């Protein structure tokens, strides 16, 4: 990270439904921090906004729903490259503030153009999705994914 790397404070909702399934969203192939991968919604805290305000705004803008309940979980950080709609790319130091959120059971998800698909996923099915690295780390921290990636295994050895 260099001194000219911008810093961005990001709110990230882990949205669960009444069945405890987790909402995953897929980025389009041509934009975002993790193009064409599944992950969690969220976005930047704007100037003058408080965390809870930013969380409610991001959920409303990206998913078209309101939050019924939000509980802070933890925070983490990392440097990630973001692809912008015009195709330009930029490294950004991101500080992620994660929240567990519930939305009304009658709510219907309506994605904005930042995402191309969504899915309600049982926790034991999370590993079957092509999750971005930040979402994988988050789910590992919450004990929802194993600490190692089961898709990547050492080659089997045999005795000769």
* 41-62 tens-digit pLDDT: 999 999 999 999 999 999 999 9
Burial degree of 58 (CB within 10 A; 0-12, 13-18, 19+): buried
* 71-80 tens-digit pLDDT: 999 999 989 8
Give the integer Cα–Cα distance in Å for 40 and 15.
8
Q: How far is CA 125 from the centre of its chain?
A: 16
Q: Are 95 and 75 in contact (CB under 8 A)?
A: yes
Overall average pLDDT of the 82-104 stretch: 90
Q: Are 139 and 35 in contact (CB under 8 A)?
A: no
Confidence label for 87 from pLDDT (cuts 50, 70 and 90): confident
pTM for the whole structure: 0.83
Which tokens is 3 given? 């001194």
């Amino acid at each position: 990270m260099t001194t000219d790397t911008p810093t961005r404070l990001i709110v990230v909702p882990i949205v669960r439904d009444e069945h405890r399934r987790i909402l995953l969203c897929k980025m389009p192939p041509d934009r975002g921090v993790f193009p064409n991968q599944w992950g969690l919604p969220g976005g930047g805290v704007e100037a003058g906004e408080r965390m809870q305000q930013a969380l409610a705004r991001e959920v409303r803008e990206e998913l078209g729903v309101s939050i019924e309940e939000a509980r802070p979980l933890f925070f983490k950080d990392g440097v990630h490259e973001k692809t912008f709609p015009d195709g330009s790319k930029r490294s950004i130091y991101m500080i992620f503030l994660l929240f567990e959120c519930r939305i009304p059971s009658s709510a219907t998800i309506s994605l904005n153009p930042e995402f191309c698909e969504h899915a309600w996923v049982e926790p034991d099915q999370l590993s079957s999705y092509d999750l971005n690295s930040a979402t994988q780390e988050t789910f590992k921290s919450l004990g929802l994914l194993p600490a190692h990636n089961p898709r990547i295994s050492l080659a089997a050895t045999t005795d000769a």
